[in-house]
Amino acid sequence: MEILQYIFGGIITFLLAFVVGMTFGGTRRKIIARIQNRYGPPIYQNFIDAFKLFSKTSAVHHGAMHYMGPAFLMVSSVVSLMFIPILRDGGWFPNLNFHGDLIFLLYMMVFGSLGMALGAGQTGNPNSAIGVTRGLAQMVGYEIPWIMALVAMMIQFHTTSITGLMDVQLQSGTWNLFASPFAFVAAILASLGMFRYAPFNIVGAPAELASGPASENGGKYLFTMMSSHSVFAFVKLTLFADLFLGGAGNLVELLIKTFLLYMIPVLYGVVNPRYRTEQAVRWFWGWPTVFGIIAIAYAVWST
Amino acid sequence: MDKGKRFDTIRARIKENFVLSQDKIYADKNRLDISVSKQRTPAILFFCKEQLGFIHLMHVGIVDWIEDGTLELVFMLWSPTEKLRVYIRTRLNRENPVMENMDMIWPQLNTYEREFKEMYGIDFKGLIAAEEFLLEDWDGPPPMLRDFDTEAYAQEVFHTRPGREDAQDVREAIIKRSQEEIPDFAKKYSRQ
Amino acid sequence: MNVIFLILILFLVGAIVTAFAGKWSSLLQDGLFILAVTIPAVLFFTQVEMNQLVGWTRGGIHLELGLTPFSYFFAILVLLLGVASAIYSVGFMHGKARKSYYYFNYLLTIMAMLGILFSRDFISFFVFWEIMTWASYLMVVMNGTRTQEIGIKYFVFSAIGAYAMLMAIVLIHAQTGNFLIQDFIDTYPSLAHGRQILIPILLLVGFSVKAAVMPLHVWAPGSYAYSPMSFTSVFSGALSKMGIYGMVIVFVTLLSHLPEGGLIRDIIAWMGAMTAVIATLWAIAQDDARKLLAYSSVGQLGYIVIAVAIGTPMAMLAGLFMAFMHGLFKGALFMVVGAVEKQTGTTDFTKVTGLIRKMPWTFLTALISIIALAGIPPLGGFIGKWMLYESLILSDHYLLVIVAFFSSTAAFLYAYKFLFGFFLGQEEEEWADVKEAPITMLIPMLALAVGSILLGAFPQLILKPINNGLISLGFSDSYGKLWETSTLFNEWGDKVVLQPIIYAIMGVFLTTLAFTYFRNRKRTRYVSTKDISTSGEIPLAHENLTFKENFFQPFLRAVEPVMKKQIDWYYREFGAGLEAIFNFTRRIYSGNGQTYALYAVIFLIVLLLLNGNLFGQ
Amino acid sequence: MQNDSRSQKIVDIIQAYARRHSLWILAYGTGCGAIEIPSTMTSRYDAERLGVRGAATPRQADVLLITGYLTVKTLKRVIRVYEQMQSPKYVIGFGSCAINGGMYWDSYNTIKMLDQYIPVDVYISGCMPRPEAVLSGFGKLQDLIKAGVADGPKRYEENFDWYRANQKKIIKNWNFADYNW
């Protein structure tokens, strides 16, 4: 029975993540349009796009890995989702492993990129491979400040689990945003790279690379990738809310917090052009890493 | 030095070495026109480039003299030191246009030669280039020759959408509407 | 006769018989070769008893052989890889020259490694160590390519290690009066402080050479890359672990008694970390699969060194677990390279492309092993990485975590390059007729890959022997506490339960795969890799658009400052500097009487000037 | 496409809605009409509010925009791109050149009737059509999708031999793989 409960809860969580991620994506398109002095598509435009992609009636494949690439991506998103406490007290959204471990999560979150990279490689499109090399390089860039922020939190609060960090915030009554501000800054700067919006949209780079790894994928593959990206956006936002903003007691609180967090990469992105790959990598090894080091020093000093 | 004099010395130097069928100086247009046989063309191009300093190949023109039965190639050279131009004209037999490959003198001649080969059917002996350049999938006659009827070809090969038969000449329609006469110089372009 | 002797003698006899059997029949030779590895392996797992010592005394020197739980763990790795690679070798060496030479050296190497693990005294340890070095040296130069450069490098560094070790053994004998390892460990705490520091350092130098720790790693990339691939899987997978074996013993039994032990450990851990980073970056820059894996081996050994140098129980478990995993996946990966080399004749990424449809099983092996290498859950590689990070954080090595994590993330780059280089990308006409590798090569490869999956789900299979070994070295028992239910724990009480994760991953993966596969199944058509959206352009048959040259150029540009000079450069400069000094000294002895007279005068003047200081009051 | 069962009908309605409000265009910009696309997409006319959005590659696109004249050489690429697109897919011919050859009516190398070679759903007349006309063209396409008559791939499939014969008539050197359905 417990298994059934988990599966049912997992499906509900997935649907929530899907809907929220898609809506946020649509909001982003609307915001970008308004900043560019356009009317913009409706907020639900992403649902229409997704359903259209789903209802495409034909597809091509280049071999077995072409099927597996989107599947790997989905694994990464969904399993990460299962590991993150959505609300402070479970409720309708149970976790597979309520002691979600941050290091496990780190690896789970990069798993998708690598799997998708394999799928993109099989298509034989040179643009895909170029996009993949850029994406992996950028990943090495932003993982450094990100792991620094996480290590700082682990040192400061003596736990490596997300729920542990949430409990710490609940007990002390302050958000980690204030308890370890430098870690928050480093993590947020790293998140700019994680979201891959401008100026770090070097992977897709529509005008240069014809959407990079996705260039041979249409219809059902693109639908899978799009849903997975939406879920993943929700995962990242919820993770940030859990780590730094004390998690959420109910859905409204969660939506407000995640939306505010989401605005940081979005608004940073709309006013920026695109970096070159090595510029992006070095950007992450500049100030974000400095903040990461300060965060670790602060954590060591404060314990 | 006077421009005319400089042209004279250049012409004299060319004449020392080559037999020219025709030569003329257009000092006002800043150019020297010489005509040579096609056998001498590579040599004179080389001479102009190496000895006279006309190191820049500006353009290669081609004229289809259908009335004379010849194709005329015009090599336009420029000397950046003298600031003068030399046009070297040579005529090929239109029925069987054959010439030596000359892209070792200027590498960019290769591009011109490929184009002439496709568009005018000139056979450059020893030209090394890919089969197709501008025209892909073409097996008709060289389309830029004047005796190639492009309209008839288009009618034959491509589907024509019905409804264009009564298409009017825009110029005539406008004139008819505004009750004017077609000027004489324009009449030869008219469809009627 | 004792079974330990029997095993060693079987190997030796097997080596000689196999080498000569080639004269009669190639098939007989292959059969004998496999038997010569498997029979001792079976004997080892069925007959050898733990902690049973056999020894004899000749000329006042007492020698002992025996098996401890700790060496038992390494013996599992050696024999597993040894048998797998032996079966693979039969396929790999089929139709190649100098088969007898190869088989002979292969068996000698395995024997020497087992001998090292059996040795309970320093003399036999050293003798087996040298046999191992020599046999592997002969393998390195076997191909005859770049023998001078590669072979001499390996030889010189092995010699440095061996001399250091020999010196330590002489010192030990001077202290204890015999060569028994256990005696030395017992008397170590009562030694003079200078000796207490000197002996472990000399031993560590000897072991670091084999474990390819940073300043001593120069030999490794070349030697791994240029020996036959079937041997390299043992070379990199098992032989390099002999260095780890020795290091762990030194760390645990000797350095833990020293007040300065922590410092030495930290230095070695940082050396390991630098090895991991630099070797990973160099691996990314390689265009040859063999060299890529060779650098990657050095880098992975770097993690293991970090872990064993930190030396908390969890780090030790992590290091040894990673050592085992590294044997499995790197062995399989070198086998993959060997298979590709055998079927296509080259290992250059820029030449070979699009083999996935030609060699699907080889690709599957490579995929699983690469996922394990990258440390991605749910495969075994992740468990080692998880324990490494947790133990580093718990033992306050914060910067080491960052460095280790950096090189682990950068490892994705070469991991992807490896898979993409051989198997993905556009198919090339030249490789249209490539066939899958023969079955004798596939089975060991796939077996090792299955091992990687198995250890991801049931790490206790190998954590239990590791734990037993560590207990025998004097660690407290952490097995019962930590590993009973496939749950990863740390001391703060955070945990990862492995099996539900695996089910979840498999469930989501299969669901999504089924969706992408069955949705519009009938209207999904296969198109070749030439049929891609390249602005409507049609690549002709001879045009291959696969992106291979300067693969990670943007990343390498970003890390350019670190990679300007290889370590080789420092050694070369050091050599050049020495030469200059020698040149200068040679000039002093000019052979001219007047010059010598001048020296004498200068000496006297200096003497007079310093008179007051030297001989004065 | 239309099925008897009631639930299928609802799905069809939603599908048609999604398809007509999410048109990802692949602008094949060889002709002069390509310059009208940016002004259609950007602030002044903002086609994105109708769900029209640029796609990077044929695999992702729904609408193929042929912006102007097609020579034999570019037609070859257009056919290839069209066949690489995933159905349901639509084609918009753009400007008088695509309709009847326009000013290239007597050129030896320019096709005059696009719909002889690939199925075209909507033509937008003009030389060049202004962005308003382009938007109205998209509106027309949306109407056609709603009415269920924008079935280019189906027509292409049914009359495949006829289309192929026409294509092969002018593309002599046929060197790409035959379409397999």
CATH number of the domain encompassing residue B21: 3.30.460.80
Of B148, B159, B167, the CB nearest to D113: B159
pLDDT in the model for residue C73? 87
Q: Beta D52-54 vs D23-28: how paired, if at all? A: parallel
User: Which chains form contacts with chain D, at 3 or more CB pairs under 8 Å?
Assistant: A, B, C
- pLDDT at D181 exceeding the cut of 50: no
Q: Let me know: does D101 contact B150? Beta carbons within 8 Å.
A: no
Q: Let me know: does B122 contact B70? Beta carbons within 8 Å.
A: no
Tens of pLDDT, residues A70-129: 888 888 888 888 888 888 776 656 665 545 578 888 888 888 888 888 888 888 888 888
Give domain status of residue D49, yes or no. yes
Task: For chain D, list residues whose CB is within 8 angstroms of any CB belonging to chain C.
Answer: 28, 57-59, 76-78, 80-81, 84, 87, 175-177, 180-181
For C265, left (φ over 0), alpha (ψ -120 to 50), or beta?
alpha
Chains A and C touch (3+ CB pairs under 8 A): yes
Give domain status of residue B160, yes or no. no
> Measured between CB atoms, does A290 come within 8 Å of chain C?
no
DSSP E strands, D6-101: 23-28, 52-54, 63-67, 90-94
> Measured between CB atoms, does B158 come within 8 Å of chain D?
yes
Query: Which residue range is the domain that position D52 belongs to?
Result: 30-170
pLDDT in the model for residue C277? 87
pLDDT in the model for residue C598? 78
C-alpha closest to that of C292 among C311, C305, C310, C279: C279
Give domain status of residue D147, yes or no. yes
Give C307 or A163, the one with higher predicted confidence: C307
C-alpha closest to that of C371 among C331, C428, C411, C317: C411
Give domain status of residue D178, yes or no. no
Confidence of residue C612 (pLDDT cuts 50, 70, 90): low
Of A59-73, C113-127, C139-153, D80-94, the poorest mean pLDDT is in C139-153
Q: C560: which residues sit within 8 A by CB, 6+ positions away?
A: none
- pLDDT at C439 exceeding the cut of 80: yes
Of A105-119, A187-201, C106-120, C593-607, the poorest mean pLDDT is in C593-607
Query: Count of domains in chain A?
Result: 1
User: Does D77 contact C535 at a Cβ distance shorter than 8 Å?
Assistant: yes
Which amino acid is it at C523?
A: R
pLDDT in the model for residue B59? 92
Of D28, D59, D175, the CB nearest to C533: D59
Confidence of residue C617 (pLDDT cuts 50, 70, 90): very low
- pLDDT at D3 exceeding the cut of 60: no
- DSSP label at residue C239: I
C-alpha closest to that of C571 among C18, C171, C156, C287: C156
pLDDT in the model for residue A26? 92
Q: C573: which residues sit within 8 A by CB, 6+ positions away?
A: none
Chains A and B touch (3+ CB pairs under 8 A): no
What does each C-alpha distance from C416 to A119, A134, B6, C170, C424 come to in angstroms? 11, 12, 68, 48, 10
* Each residue's pLDDT expressed in tens, for chain B with a length of 192 residues: 677 788 888 888 888 888 887 888 887 788 888 888 888 888 889 888 988 888 999 999 999 888 888 999 999 999 888 888 889 999 999 888 898 888 889 999 999 999 998 888 888 888 887 777 888 778 778 888 888 888 888 888 888 888 766 666 777 777 778 887 777 776 766 655
C-alpha closest to that of D167 among D67, D83, D66: D83
Q: Let me know: does A233 contact A19? Beta carbons within 8 Å.
A: no
Of D15, D51, D60, the CB nearest to A55: D15
| Phi, psi (deg, nearest 5) at residue C2 | -70, 150
Rounded average pLDDT over C365-380: 86
Residues forming beta bridges with residue B56, ordered by sequence position: B78
Rounded average pLDDT over C393-422: 87
Query: Count of domains in chain B?
Result: 1
Of A132, A139, A147, the CB nearest to C402: A147
pLDDT in the model for residue C608? 67
C352 to chain A: which residues are within 8 Å by CB? Answer: none
C-alpha closest to that of A226 among A64, A116, A82, A107: A116
Which amino acid is it at A280?
A: A
Taking the CB of residue B186, how many other CB atoms lie within 10 A of it? 11
Q: Let me know: does A72 contact A115? Beta carbons within 8 Å.
A: yes
- pLDDT at C171 exceeding the cut of 80: yes
Distance between CA atoms of residues C234 and C114, nearest Å: 13
Query: Count of domains in chain D?
Result: 1
Distance between CA atoms of residues A22 and A77, nearest Å: 14
Q: Let me know: does C128 contact C116? Beta carbons within 8 Å.
A: yes
Q: Residue for token digits 């098939």?
A: C27
User: Does D105 contact B136 at a Cβ distance shorter than 8 Å?
Assistant: no
CATH number of the domain encompassing residue D84: 3.40.50.12280
pLDDT in the model for residue C1? 61
Of A154-163, A176-185, B166-175, C460-469, the poorest mean pLDDT is in B166-175
User: Does B158 contact D101 at a Cβ distance shorter than 8 Å?
Assistant: yes
Tens of pLDDT, residues C26-37: 888 888 888 888
Q: Let me know: does A223 contact C523? Beta carbons within 8 Å.
A: no
| Minimal CA separation from A91 to chain C, in Å | 20
User: Does B160 contact D100 at a Cβ distance shorter than 8 Å?
Assistant: yes
Closest chain D residue to the Cα of C536, Cα to Cα: D77
User: Does C531 contact D58 at a Cβ distance shorter than 8 Å?
Assistant: no
Query: Residues C33-36: contacts with CB within 8 Å, 24+ apart?
Result: C33/C86, C33/C89, C33/C90, C33/C103, C33/C106, C33/C107, C34/C86, C34/C87, C34/C90, C36/C10, C36/C11, C36/C107
> Measured between CB atoms, does D15 come within 8 Å of chain A?
yes
Which amino acid is it at C465?
A: P
- Kindly provide the ipTM of the predicted complex, given to two decimals: 0.82
User: Does D81 contact C536 at a Cβ distance shorter than 8 Å?
Assistant: yes
Of A119-123, A188-192, C50-54, C131-135, the poorest mean pLDDT is in C50-54
- pLDDT at A23 exceeding the cut of 90: yes
pLDDT in the model for residue D2? 47
| Minimal CA separation from A27 to chain C, in Å | 27
C-alpha closest to that of C526 among D87, D82, A65, A63: A63
Query: Which residue range is the domain that position A291 belongs to?
Result: 2-302
C-alpha closest to that of C419 among A217, A104, A68, A203: A68
| Minimal CA separation from C353 to chain D, in Å | 22
Interface test with B, best of D78, D96, D109 (most B CBs within 10 A): D109
Of C357, C401, C554, the CB nearest to A278: C554
Rounded average pLDDT over C456-463: 82
Give domain status of residue B151, yes or no. no
User: Does D57 contact C533 at a Cβ distance shorter than 8 Å?
Assistant: yes
Rounded average pLDDT over C146-167: 82
Distance between CA atoms of residues C107 and C88, nearest Å: 14
| Minimal CA separation from C521 to chain D, in Å | 12
Distance between CA atoms of residues D112 and A282, nearest Å: 53
* Percent of chain B with pLDDT strictly greater than 90: 12
Give domain status of residue B7, yes or no. yes
Tens of pLDDT, residues C257-271: 787 778 888 888 888
C-alpha closest to that of A104 among A85, A83, A86, A87: A83
| Minimal CA separation from C338 to chain A, in Å | 22
Give domain status of residue D91, yes or no. yes
